[in-house]
Every structure is written in structure tokens, then in C-alpha cells.
A and B are shown apart, each in its own frame.
Chain A
Amino acid sequence: MSNEGRQVVIPGQILGETSALHPGRGTYVENRKIYAERLGVLNIQDKFVHIIPLRGRYDPIVGDFVIGVVEEASTSNWMVDINAPYPALLHVKEVPWEIEFADTEKYLNTGDTILAKVLSIDESKKLQITLKDRNLFKLKDGHLIEFEPSVYRRIMGKKYSMIENIQKYTRCRIKVGKNGRIWIDGDPEEIEKVLAAITMIEREAITFGLTSRIEEFLKKDAKDVR
């Protein structure tokens, strides 16, 4: 195995010239030279240079599925922490329930956890989320943990192979938010196993052959797999 294509880059590092490459996410251009603007892994595809961040807060994109924790209920909306730099607003019109004025607390209150979708982001980064979609709801029971948002893609795996493996071997119900939060429901022993797998993915996120290593780990004393 080589670590070519898995090069760690740091802010200010020169990545190439605009004559040969196109600047992508996580880069900036100065005097026709492309530089990295954050700590991450270098990724060049079709002449586009990207940085896949290794660290940092969740950067919301419209349509992302996120796991939010309600901070505060007011008369016509809720403020929800989605692990982004800013809290997100959930308006009463964006929930599947008919809510009477000032009745918001009956439905969602401080500390409640929801699976939501990013609805809009304005230029001053004011965020709105919605619960009005299939598969969006208030989460009950289970356990909630946080992970480095940048490893979301590795936790899901290619064509969801990683997350499907984890579900298969642990028989847990799992919801992964793009914002670095995972909700897991199942037998506590199995939940622990999921946690161990997630920790392993986080630690080894920039290495090759991760999916098979995680599968080996999960297979070890796994209960009968359907």
C-alpha cells in the first residue's frame, strides 16, 4: 500500500498552478497559484484540487440529513443545535404536527433529539431545518454520540457498504447525521461495538482497506447474522 493520494496538507501549502489545475473546495488562489486553506487530505480528480478536511465544525449544505438537539422552544419555533457554527431554526410550519400558538413545548422541548433536514441557509449563514419529509422524526431511546464530521463519508462507506456492515453485524438501528452525530438503538453490548467501530474509523479514516478491517473487527464474536 502506498499513501499516494492520501497526502496530508496544511494551510498555506502550495498545491499547484491554475494553468494546470482547477481550484476546488478547501483551496484558494493567489497570483495564479493554488494553496490549501485548511488541514486535510489532498484529493485531485479531473484536474480539480480539493481538500477533504480532517478536522473542523460541520459545514451545512441544503438537503443534508442532520441530527439536532433542541436548545430552546419559543412560541412559534425552536432553536436547534446541529453542531454547526450556528444554531438552526425550526419553524412550526416545518413540522408534521398541527401546533397551536405557544404549544411548541408539548411537541419538542429542550434536550429532545430530532432527525432533520437542512432547509435553507442565507448569506449571513442563518440556518433553517425541517421535519417535513419522510424519514424525519423525533428520536427516542438508544444512544447518541458525536464524531468528526469529516469522516462521515468513511462511516457510510462506498455505496453505504460500511454502515450496512455495521448494522448487519450488530443488529442495531443506526441513523448517521452528516453533522457528526450518530444515533444507535439496540442491545447495549452491541451499541458498544458500534462505538468501537466508529472510533476505529475516526482514527484510521485516512488509510486504505478500512472497510475490510472494520468488517473483520465486527465479525469477531458477532451474534448470528441474518
Chain B
Amino acid sequence: MTIVPVIKRDYITKLAEQGKRIDGRTFDNYRTIDIETKVVNKAEGSARVKIGNTQVLCGIKMDIGEPFPDTPTTGVMSTAAEFVPLASPDFESGPPRENAIELARVVDRGVRESQVIQLEKLCIAPSEKVWLVFIDIHILDYDGNLFDAASLAALAALLTTKVPVSRFLKTLNEKERASWQEQLADIYRIPGVNEVPFGSDETSTNQKKVEDFPLPMIEPPISCTAVKINDFVLFDPCFDEEVIADVRLTVATDHKGDLRAMQKGLSGSFTREEIQKVIKGALDNGQEIRKKLNHSIGK
């Protein structure tokens, strides 16, 4: 375990009392955010996000499988996070520990509960075959605020994901291929969709031949995280701030300014006023980050 020297802790607090932070930022400011998409050829979608020195890579893989019995006509998504020992001297190899599981679940909820992926459009044959979407988050360099980096990487990766229809067809024999081609064409011609899926407008055009198409998405909510150190609320904590923080709050807001997901972490507590403060900051920062995200996917 990395031990934070008491004097470093005291110094961060002392600076906070003067409205300052160790890297010169204001309380509400994020570090520089850098988003790069399509970084992994083998993945159906991918993105690398840097927030300051923190680096996270997310890759999307898709496959065809069975739907859950209670939702026979919707695709299936799952999210996993790997805290690989490459990213921090404190990460160990082995099965995911509770931090990795919490991170994966928070990212998963942000995507699932807001129905960012239109899973109902990922059905191929009810009760039989649907598209599976695997979101895998790989932490590369840990300097605080994994929640925001991971969820942003997941969104950027999803928004650039192409459903690998052609790869699926390639695995079939000729007879099967013809029949599936027809079935798929039926399904994906229909989307009947007046509303244009976020990410691209390609699926709204009728396709004679079934080709890879962008994952149908709606405009996603953006996560912003703040921590409390003594009585000060600081956004986008770096590692030194995060390890001494009392409590953490992640707030995901959508483009209309509504709240879509929240997660409080660590053993400290917030007052109602402090929560309002985090919401306000999440809305302001969320707008800026949304612009960056849209820019990164060419919107």
C-alpha cells in the first residue's frame, strides 16, 4: 500500500483552505481531458481516455448469443474492469477485487439504466439469438478519478462501435449465410426508426445488403466525480487527493440537465448542501466534457 505522508495530507488541506490545489487547479476544474477513438483494431469499438496522468482504455467486443428468458427480444450487455498491475504499484494480479467490481458496475449502470445502447434493436431472433455487447475497461495508468475516465472511455468506445454483421456471416456455411442475410436484412431495414440513432445516421437508410452498422445509441449521460477533503469539495481528484479524501460522489447528468445516475463512495458523509454543490459542478463540467466527447467521435 502506498502510504500518504501526513505532511502531504496536511499540505493539501492547508492549500484547500486558501482555495488552492496541489496542481494549481481551482476546486471545480478538471485536468486536461484527451479522448482518442478507434485505437484497437481487433475491437468492434475502442477508446483511450486520458484525464491528466490517468489513462484508461476501453474496448467493445460483440458476439451473438441467447437473450435472457425474461427479455427475449433485447440484446445483452455486460461490463468488466481490469485493474492490471501495470497501472499502479498497489494493483495486484488475480480476480477483480471489490474496487474493480464497483467501477465496472457503476459504468454498467450509467449505460444500462439510461438505455444508452438501444438493446431492443439488437434482437436477431426472439428468444434465440441476440447481439451481446461486452464492455471491457482496462486501467493503464492510475492517477485518480477512474470513475470519470472509465465511463467516458466506455461511451467513446460504444459510440464508435460497429456491429460486426459481416464477421458473423463469415462464420456460417453458405446455406445458413443466405438465410441469415435475409433475416438480418429484414430486421435492420425495419428499424423503421424515425429517430436517428446517436452516433451516426447510417442505419436509417434502407440497406439492401446487410453490412456492419453503428451500434444504435441515444445521447448518453456524462459522469462527473467530486471528493470531499475536510469541508472542501474538489472535482476530478488526482491520486494524492483521492487517497486522503473522506468521501466521493459521482453524478451522471444528461444533455437536458437531468440526473441519470449517482454513486457515493468511501466512508465519509455529505451534507445536503454539499450534494447540491456536486450536482451543480457535475452539470457545468458535464457540458464541457460532452462537447469533448462529441468532438472525439466527429460530431
B-binding residues in A (CB < 8 A): 69-71, 81, 110-113, 139-144, 183, 188, 192
* Cβ–Cβ contact B7 & A81, under 8 A: no
* Cβ–Cβ contact A183 & B15, under 8 A: no
Q: Is there a chain A Cβ closer than 8 Å to B94's Cβ?
A: no
Q: Is there a chain A Cβ closer than 8 Å to B8's Cβ?
A: yes
> Which residue in B5, B10, B15, B20 is a CB contact (below 8 Å) of A69?
B5
> Which residue in B6, B7, B15 is a CB contact (below 8 Å) of A188?
B15
Return the chain B residue nearest A68 by Cβ: B5
* Cβ–Cβ contact A188 & B3, under 8 A: no
Q: With A143-B8, A188-B20 as given contacts, are A111 and B14 in contact (CB-CB < 8 Å)?
A: no
A-binding residues in B (CB < 8 A): 3-11, 14-15, 18, 20, 24
Sample of 12 more A-B contacts, CB < 8 Å, known A69-B3, A69-B5? A110-B3, A111-B3, A111-B4, A112-B6, A139-B7, A140-B7, A141-B7, A142-B11, A143-B11, A144-B7, A144-B11, A188-B20
* Cβ–Cβ contact A113 & B6, under 8 A: yes
A12 to chain B, nearest CB (A): 25
* Cβ–Cβ contact B15 & A111, under 8 A: no
* Cβ–Cβ contact B3 & A71, under 8 A: yes
> Which residue in B10, B14, B24 is a CB contact (below 8 Å) of A192?
B24
Return the chain A residue nearest B14 by Cβ: A188
CA distance A113 to B7 in the complex (A): 7
Return the chain B residue nearest A192 by Cβ: B24
Return the chain A residue nearest B6 by Cβ: A111
* Cβ–Cβ contact A183 & B7, under 8 A: yes
> Which residue in B3, B4, B10 is a CB contact (below 8 Å) of A141?
B10
* Cβ–Cβ contact A144 & B8, under 8 A: yes
* Residues of A with C-beta under 8 A to B4: 111
* Residues of A with C-beta under 8 A to B6: 111-113
* Residues of A with C-beta under 8 A to B5: 69, 111-113, 144
CA distance A110 to B8 in the complex (A): 13
A146 to chain B, nearest CB (A): 10
B292 to chain A, nearest CB (A): 27
CA distance A139 to B4 in the complex (A): 14
CA distance A157 to B11 in the complex (A): 27
Q: With A188-B14, A188-B18, A188-B20 as given contacts, are A142 and B7 in contact (CB-CB < 8 Å)?
A: yes
CA distance A174 to B4 in the complex (A): 20
CA distance A64 to B270 in the complex (A): 46
* Residues of B with C-beta under 8 A to A112: 5-6
23 A/B residue pairs, CB under 8 Å, sorted by A: A69-B3, A70-B3, A111-B3, A111-B4, A111-B6, A111-B9, A112-B5, A112-B6, A113-B5, A140-B7, A141-B10, A141-B11, A142-B7, A142-B11, A143-B11, A144-B5, A144-B7, A144-B8, A144-B11, A183-B7, A188-B14, A188-B18, A192-B24
Return the chain B residue nearest A142 by Cβ: B7
Return the chain A residue nearest B18 by Cβ: A188
* Residues of A with C-beta under 8 A to B15: 188
* Residues of A with C-beta under 8 A to B24: 192
CA distance A110 to B9 in the complex (A): 13
* Residues of B with C-beta under 8 A to A111: 3-6, 9
CA distance A113 to B24 in the complex (A): 24
CA distance A112 to B4 in the complex (A): 9
A189 to chain B, nearest CB (A): 9
> Closest 7 A-B residue pairs measured CB to CB?
A111-B6, A143-B11, A69-B5, A113-B5, A144-B5, A113-B7, A144-B8
